[in-house]
Amino acid sequence: MATNRKKVLVPHIMGQLGKDVLASRDDIDMVTYSATITQADLLPLLADAAGVALSGTPYQRTEMDASPAMQVVARIGVGYDAVEVPALTARRVPLMVAGAANSTSVAEQAFHMMIALAKQNRALDGVVRDGRWGDRRDVLPMELSGKTILIVGFGRIGTRTARRCLGFDMQVLIYDPYVDAALITAAGCSKVSDLDAALPAADVVCIHCPKTQETVGMFNAARFARMKPGAFIVNTARGGIIEEKALHAALTSGHIAGAGLDVFEAEPTPRDNSLLKLPNVIASPHMAGVTTEAVAAMAVATAENILSVLDGAPRRENVINKEVLD
C-alpha cells in the first residue's frame, strides 16, 4: 500500500452508495470486514487503518490501542453506546455519527407503533384470522387525536416524532433538560422540567434519548407506577433505558396498556423473553432506523464523515466529542 493512501475499514453491510463514495477516491483503500467479526480478527485490521466505519461492532480502549494510525471512527447510525468515547478523545480521534440520515425512519417507526397500539392492530388482526368476528368489540381501539404524548428526548428524532403527533392533533409534552424551552415552544410543544410530575398526564410515552449513565434504567418500577393507568410506552432508542422486568410487571398488572419495543436489554433478545409472550407487546428487531432510504443515506453520510476528517475539514455538526477539534 502506497504511503500516500489511507486504509478505511467498512462493514460488509454498509450501503453500497457509501462504499461507492469511498471507492471513487484514488487515495483511499477500502477494506471490507464482516459485521460479525470477532475482536481477535478485527484488531490486526486496525493496525494501519486511518478510518473505520462501525455498524454494531464495539470499539473500546482495546481497539483504540490497536489503532496507532486511526484518525476517525464513524458510526453508521446515531447511537454510540458501544464506543468508548473517552478512549477516542484521549487520542484526539473524532467520533462521527450519521446525523439525521435515519431520523425520519425512526420517527415513522415510533409513530407506527403508537398507532398499532392505539388501534389494537394485533388483537383485531387475530380476530379476523381466527374467525372470531363476534369478539371484535371486546377490545376497542382508541383515537390518538386529543391525547397527550410525552416525548423523552427532543433531538433529530424526537423533533420529527413531535411533528407527526401534532399532525394528529395530539398534545405534545417534551422532557429534555438539554433543550431550551423556547425551541420547544416554537415547535408547538410544551416543555416539562420534571419527568416524574409529567408522567401521570401522558397517554403515550415515547423514548428518543441516548443511552447514557443518566438514562440507563430511566423507566423502572417507580416510573411505571407514576404513569397514567392505561398508557402506552414506545422505545425505539436503546435497550436498557427501560427495565424489562419492571415493564413486564406493569403490563401484566394492566397498569400499562401496551408497549412497542424496537430495542431490548440484550440483542438479539432471547426467544423466551417474557415480554414476547404478552399480547399487548409489539416488537421489531432494532430495525427502526433501517429502511431502504435510511441505509443509503447513512452509508453516504458515514463515508462523507470519514473523508471530511481525512481531508482536514471535519463535519463538526456530526462529531460527538467536539473537544478534539479545538
- What mean pLDDT comes out for the span 282-310? 96
User: Which residues participate in catalysis according to the annotation?
Assistant: 238, 267, 286
**Rounded distance, CA 293 to CA 228, Å?**
36
- What is residue 1's predicted lDDT score, i.e. its pLDDT? 43
Give the tens place of pLDDT for each residue, 244-289: 999 999 999 999 999 999 999 999 999 999 999 999 999 999 999 9
For the chain, give the percent of residues with pLDDT over 90: 96
Give the tens place of pLDDT for each residue, 121-158: 999 999 999 999 999 999 899 999 999 999 999 999 99
- What is residue 73's predicted lDDT score, i.e. its pLDDT? 98
Query: Does the pLDDT of residue 162 top 70, yes or no?
Result: yes
- What is residue 3's predicted lDDT score, i.e. its pLDDT? 57
Q: Check: CB of residue 109 under 8 Å from CB of residue 286.
A: no
Give the residue with greater pLDDT, 3 vs 83: 83
Confidence category of residue 79, pLDDT binned at 50, 70, 90: confident
What is the reported pTM? 0.88
Give the tens place of pLDDT for each residue, 26-47: 999 999 999 999 999 999 999 9
Rounded to the nearest integer, the mean pLDDT of the chain is: 96
Query: Does the pLDDT of residue 228 top 90, yes or no?
Result: yes
- What is residue 2's predicted lDDT score, i.e. its pLDDT? 46
- What is residue 190's predicted lDDT score, i.e. its pLDDT? 98
Give the tens place of pLDDT for each residue, 176-213: 999 999 999 999 999 999 999 999 999 999 999 999 99
Confidence category of residue 4, pLDDT binned at 50, 70, 90: confident
